[in-house]
């Protein structure tokens, strides 16, 4: 007999009723049937496996692709006093064994793990001993080679079906085209699966594309016209910093977020944004997955995403509370060419992947047949410079090696600071006496790390900064001076990436195993970009309809809110536009932006008209860059 799911929902989540297909999905799972749930971002997918698992005896195995997503889910469950365990990277063997024991004997309800972790023999053996009530495969589109985030390790998820043939399985995703749906069912071995598909329609979101040659002005305009929290997505770390500074200079509270900032900074930035102390987060796609903020009112894509799957997922972070919100792409004439160059010209072929893999092994001095199991810090830019590799193409090659389980790639900024006091006690005391200003900081280091006078010690600059009230850069200067004065030995290494090799080095043979997949994936990427550019150039089809049709949801019902549905009738002729402009300029001078706002004309047509008026010497520009009638 199962527990009442409505009571569970109210007890742990505080909701009075289920949404969309949640109740039907949960009832189907509880009846022992396999399920494929296709639900939009913010549709409450996790409820669909968490509630039925709590209604049954035993533990739920959840496979999820991202460490951040796993950690967030587990943290959310723990806040609700639900026992959950995450098997993420870097867990020592003894601790892993203890965690698996807890799953067996500790009355835990959820075990979250990555598909790579599922491949470990120890994990497989212990799962077979557990009382598993449900298998949940989150972000299930990762199992399909036609999916935007294809991850071959996901193909190993089918082993759970072999181990637990009588346990129901639920696969969940928010971005699945019809070919991806077919792949999910086949690759997971779902048995007579019931497919639930909530409409992907987000009626509360106004989708739009703004074509402009002054993107900064348009960004500021949207920030001033749409109140509330916002996300601005960009494609580079440099751009995230640049746009954040631009918004701050224009009086808009903003911060930036990308994969290369220290973990402590990420947590601080995220907390400020979640609490509303920072309004706008300018971020790369490293931001958003697993972030639960329902009241985002505006999502801007300042640069073109690589696919409609990525775009729809990121845009879908707007208005998760159901209130009116906006998702806009701001684009210029040259952006399409830039996107094609970034995503298509940098697609690595098989030969280049082989070359990168060979040089990577040489870089770490790994011999043929050898496997180094521990994580290795990796200075990506130094690697590219040494072997004269194109950085974008090289990073894409590394991602392919990661996706095909040759190595594990972590985009974590790491800083490792090692310190040892090598001077005698008398010399240290004498130094402290002569350097009174830095003495308190040196004393704090000595008190914090007891054995630092005896052996090389890893120190935490962030923690020392908090303890001493001294900035991290200033601390580094002090440590460098101590080293120059022969008081300490000091090393500070930073890396943008961390690499863990998963298979022994076998050069070309390693890559040949998935060479056909590389070619197929390149074709998928080309198709993805074509669909994305089609969405941007589209001038006739309702934005919502375009997106829904792409994901296999046929509809002709217009949203009535997007830029296509609400576009103003353009001035019927060039003569009419000229006439209106001249009438306005007769009253007072106007800038082109002021004219655009007052008239509501197409920006491109207005600029052409102003050019003609200048050529005909009917108008001129004053020192304020305003148009005046002659």
- The answer to whether residue 68 scores a pLDDT higher than 90 is no
Mean of the pLDDT values across residues 444-467?
84
In tens, the pLDDT along 187-236 reads 999 988 999 988 888 889 999 999 988 899 999 999 999 999 999 999 98
Mean of the pLDDT values across residues 557-570?
82
In tens, the pLDDT along 285-311 reads 867 666 778 899 999 999 999 999 889
- The answer to whether residue 622 scores a pLDDT higher than 90 is no
Mark whether 77 and 225 lie in a shared domain.
no
On whether residue 592 sits in a domain, the answer given is yes
Mean of the pLDDT values across residues 348-366?
95
Note every long-range contact of 446-454, with CB atoms under 8 Å and residues 24 or more positions apart, other chains counting.
Answer: 446/421, 449/419, 452/419, 452/420, 452/421, 453/420, 453/421, 453/425, 453/428, 454/420
Query: Alpha-carbon dihedral of residues 370, 373, 376, 380, nearest 10 degrees?
Result: 60
**Which of 535, 563, 591 represents a domain boundary (last residue)?**
563
Q: Tally the residues of the chain.
A: 630
Mark whether 37 and 164 lie in a shared domain.
yes
Do residues 42 and 317 make contact, with C-beta atoms less than 8 angstroms apart?
Answer: yes
Q: Which of 249, 210, 176 is nearest to 333 (CA)?
A: 210
Mark whether 52 and 135 lie in a shared domain.
yes
The DSSP bridge pattern shows strands 84-87 and 110-113 to be parallel
**Which of 197, 220, 243 represents a domain boundary (last residue)?**
197
The domain of 224 spans 205-333+527-563
The sheet carrying 35-38 orders its strands as 84-87, 110-113, 59-63, 132-137, 169-173, 35-38, 194-197
Distance in Å from the first CA to the final CA of the chain: 86
Mark whether 283 and 345 lie in a shared domain.
no
Rounded to whole angstroms, how far apart are CA atoms 582 and 134?
Answer: 71
Rounded to whole angstroms, how far apart are CA atoms 327 and 139?
Answer: 22
In tens, the pLDDT along 486-536 reads 999 998 876 667 889 999 999 999 999 999 988 888 888 888 899 999 999
Strand stretches in 28-181, DSSP E: 35-38, 59-63, 84-87, 110-113, 132-137, 169-173
On whether residue 380 sits in a domain, the answer given is yes
% of the chain exceeding 70 in pLDDT: 95
- The answer to whether residue 572 scores a pLDDT higher than 90 is no
Mean of the pLDDT values across residues 148-168?
85
Rounded to whole angstroms, how far apart are CA atoms 609 and 582?
Answer: 11
CATH code, domain carrying 363? 1.10.10.10
Confidence at residue 573, expressed as pLDDT on a 0 to 100 scale: 55
Structure tokens at 129: 């001993």
- The answer to whether residue 57 scores a pLDDT higher than 90 is yes
% of the chain exceeding 90 in pLDDT: 50
Residue 328 DSSP symbol? E
Rounded to whole angstroms, how far apart are CA atoms 491 and 461?
Answer: 12
On whether residue 522 sits in a domain, the answer given is no
Rounded to whole angstroms, how far apart are CA atoms 472 and 465?
Answer: 6
On whether residue 569 sits in a domain, the answer given is no
Measured in whole angstroms, the distance separating CA 298 from the mean position of its chain's CA atoms is 17
Say what the pTM is.
0.67
In tens, the pLDDT along 202-211 reads 889 999 999 9
- Domains contained in the chain, number: 5
On whether residue 542 sits in a domain, the answer given is yes
Structure tokens at 569: 């009738």
User: Token match 């329902």: residue?
Assistant: 294
Structure tokens at 298: 């505006």
Confidence at residue 277, expressed as pLDDT on a 0 to 100 scale: 94
Name the most confidently modeled range: 140-149, 478-487, 613-622.
Answer: 478-487
Using CB atoms within 10 A of its CB, is residue 582 exposed (0-12), middle (13-18) or buried (19+)? middle
Mean of the pLDDT values across residues 312-321?
90
Classify the phi-psi angles of 44: left when phi > 0, otherwise alpha if psi is within -120 to 50, otherwise beta: left
Mark whether 369 and 396 lie in a shared domain.
yes
Mark whether 474 and 503 lie in a shared domain.
no
Q: What is the DSSP string of 426-470?
A: HHHHHHHHH-TTTHHHHHHHHHH-TTTTTS-EEE-HHHHHHHHT-
What's the Cα-to-Cα distance from 243 to each of 15, 216, 234, 481, rounded to whole Å?
38, 8, 9, 36
Mean of the pLDDT values across residues 157-177?
90
Structure tokens at 6: 């409505």
Mark whether 458 and 329 lie in a shared domain.
no
What's the Cα-to-Cα distance from 342 to each of 182, 284, 401, 526, 589, rounded to whole Å?
30, 14, 19, 12, 42
Mark whether 151 and 247 lie in a shared domain.
no
**Which of 168, 197, 226 represents a domain boundary (last residue)?**
197
On whether residue 147 sits in a domain, the answer given is yes
Contacts for 127 with CB less than 8 Å, ≥ 6 apart: 61, 111, 160, 163, 164
Mean of the pLDDT values across residues 172-181?
84
Averaged pLDDT of the chain: 88
Mean of the pLDDT values across residues 91-117?
88
Confidence at residue 495, expressed as pLDDT on a 0 to 100 scale: 60
Q: Which of 201, 205, 200, 217 is nearest to 327 (CA)?
A: 205
Band of the pLDDT at 586, cuts 50, 70, 90? confident
Rounded to whole angstroms, how far apart are CA atoms 367 and 358?
Answer: 10
CATH code, domain carrying 317? 3.40.50.300
Residue 234 φ then ψ, to 5°: -130, 175
- The answer to whether residue 569 scores a pLDDT higher than 60 is no
Mark whether 64 and 121 lie in a shared domain.
yes
More confident residue, 613 or 67: 613
Band of the pLDDT at 630, cuts 50, 70, 90? confident
On whether residue 618 sits in a domain, the answer given is yes
Confidence at residue 288, expressed as pLDDT on a 0 to 100 scale: 67
Band of the pLDDT at 324, cuts 50, 70, 90? very high
Mean of the pLDDT values across residues 259-273?
83
Confidence at residue 494, expressed as pLDDT on a 0 to 100 scale: 66
Mark whether 21 and 139 lie in a shared domain.
yes
Band of the pLDDT at 571, cuts 50, 70, 90? very low
Confidence at residue 457, expressed as pLDDT on a 0 to 100 scale: 87
- The answer to whether residue 175 scores a pLDDT higher than 80 is no
Confidence at residue 286, expressed as pLDDT on a 0 to 100 scale: 65
Mark whether 158 and 67 lie in a shared domain.
yes
On whether residue 568 sits in a domain, the answer given is no
Mark whether 463 and 503 lie in a shared domain.
no
């Amino acid at each position: 007999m199962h527990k009442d799911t409505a009571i569970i929902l109210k007890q742990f989540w505080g909701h009075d009723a289920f949404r969309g297909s949640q109740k039907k999905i949960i009832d189907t799972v509880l009846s022992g049937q396999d399920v494929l749930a296709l639900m939009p971002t913010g549709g409450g997918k996790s409820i669909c496996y968490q509630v039925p698992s709590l209604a049954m005896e035993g533990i739920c195995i959840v496979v999820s692709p991202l460490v951040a997503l796993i950690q967030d889910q587990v943290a959310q469950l723990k806040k609700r006093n639900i026992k959950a365990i995450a098997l993420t990277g870097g867990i020592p063997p003894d601790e892993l064994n203890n965690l698996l024991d807890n799953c067996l004997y500790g009355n835990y309800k959820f075990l979250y793990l990555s598909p790579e972790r599922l491949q470990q023999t120890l994990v497989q053996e212990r799962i077979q001993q557990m009382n598993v009530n449900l298998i949940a495969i989150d972000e299930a589109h990762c199992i399909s080679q036609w999916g935007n985030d294809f991850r071959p390790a996901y193909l190993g998820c089918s082993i759970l079906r072999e181990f637990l043939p009588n346990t129901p399985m639920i696969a969940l995703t928010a971005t699945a085209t019809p070919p991806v749906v077919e792949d999910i069912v086949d690759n997971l071995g779902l048995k007579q699966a019931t497919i639930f598909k909530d409409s992907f329609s987000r009626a509360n979101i106004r989708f739009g594309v703004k074509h402009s040659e002054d993107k900064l002005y348009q960004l500021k305009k949207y920030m001033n016209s749409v109140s509330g929290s916002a996300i601005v997505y960009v494609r580079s770390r440099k751009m995230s910093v640049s746009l954040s500074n631009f918004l701050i200079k224009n009086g808009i509270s903003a911060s930036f977020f990308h994969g290369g900032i220290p973990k402590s900074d990420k947590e601080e930035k995220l907390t400020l944004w979640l609490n509303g102390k920072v309004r706008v987060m300018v971020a790369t796609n490293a931001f958003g997955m697993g972030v639960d903020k329902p009241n985002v009112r505006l999502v801007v894509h300042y640069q073109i995403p690589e696919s409609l799957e990525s775009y729809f997922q990121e845009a879908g972070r707007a208005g998760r509370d159901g209130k009116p919100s906006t998702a806009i792409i701001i684009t210029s004439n040259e952006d399409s060419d830039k996107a094609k160059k970034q995503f298509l010209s940098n697609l690595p072929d098989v030969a280049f992947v082989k070359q990168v893999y060979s040089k990577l092994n040489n870089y770490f001095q790994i011999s043929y047949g050898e496997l180094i199991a521990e994580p290795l810090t990796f200075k990506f830019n130094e690697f590219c410079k040494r072997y004269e590799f194109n950085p974008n193409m090289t990073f894409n090659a590394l991602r392919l090696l990661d996706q095909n389980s040759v190595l594990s790639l972590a985009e974590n900024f790491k800083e490792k600071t090692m310190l040892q006091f090598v001077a005698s006690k008398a010399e240290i005391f004498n130094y402290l006496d002569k350097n009174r200003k830095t003495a308190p900081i040196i004393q704090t280091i000595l008190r914090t790390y007891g054995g630092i006078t005896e052996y090389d010690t890893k120190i935490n600059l962030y923690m020392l900064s908090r303890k001493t009230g001294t900035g991290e850069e200033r601390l580094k200067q002090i440590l460098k001076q101590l080293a120059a004065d022969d008081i300490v030995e000091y090393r500070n290494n930073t890396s943008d990436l961390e690499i863990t090799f998963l298979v022994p080095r076998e050069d070309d043979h390693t890559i040949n195993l998935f060479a056909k997949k590389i070619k197929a994936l390149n074709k998928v990427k080309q198709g993805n970009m074509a669909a994305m550019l089609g969405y941007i150039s589209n001038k006739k089809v309702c934005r919502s309809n375009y997106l829904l049709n792409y994901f296999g949801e046929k509809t002709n019902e217009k949203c009535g809110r997007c830029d296509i549905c609400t576009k103003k009738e353009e001035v019927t002729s060039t003569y009419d536009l000229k006439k209106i402009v001249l009438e306005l300029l007769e009253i007072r001078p106007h800038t082109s932006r002021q004219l655009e706002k007052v008239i509501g004309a197409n920006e491109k047509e207005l600029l052409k008209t102003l050019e003609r008026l200048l050529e005909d010497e009917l108008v001129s520009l004053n020192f304020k860059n305003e148009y005046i009638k002659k």
